[in-house]
Amino acid sequence: MPTEAVYVVDRIKDDIVVLVDENERSIDAALHRFQVLLEEGLVLRVPIGDKGKPQWGKAEVDRQGEE
């Protein structure tokens, strides 16, 4: 099982974040679960918990390629 996944913020509507994973599948998550400021197009690295669920509160912005 992977220890982290990469998601792109597709859009934010009200208090729901729509993210797209590496396989182009979309998933909705509650905005309040994130500890980072989100905006459309942002790439996130999200740890995967013991039960295979994304740990949104531990998501980090992927800074690779910004230099």
SS3 state at 30: strand
Q: Quick one: tokens of 61? A: 């912005």
Q: pTM of the prediction?
A: 0.87
SS3 state at 41: coil
DSSP designation for 65: T
- Sheet with 60-61: strands ordered across: 26-30, 16-21, 4-13, 43-47, 60-61
Q: What is the pLDDT of residues 3-48, one digit of tens each?
A: 999 999 999 999 999 999 999 999 999 999 999 999 999 999 999 9
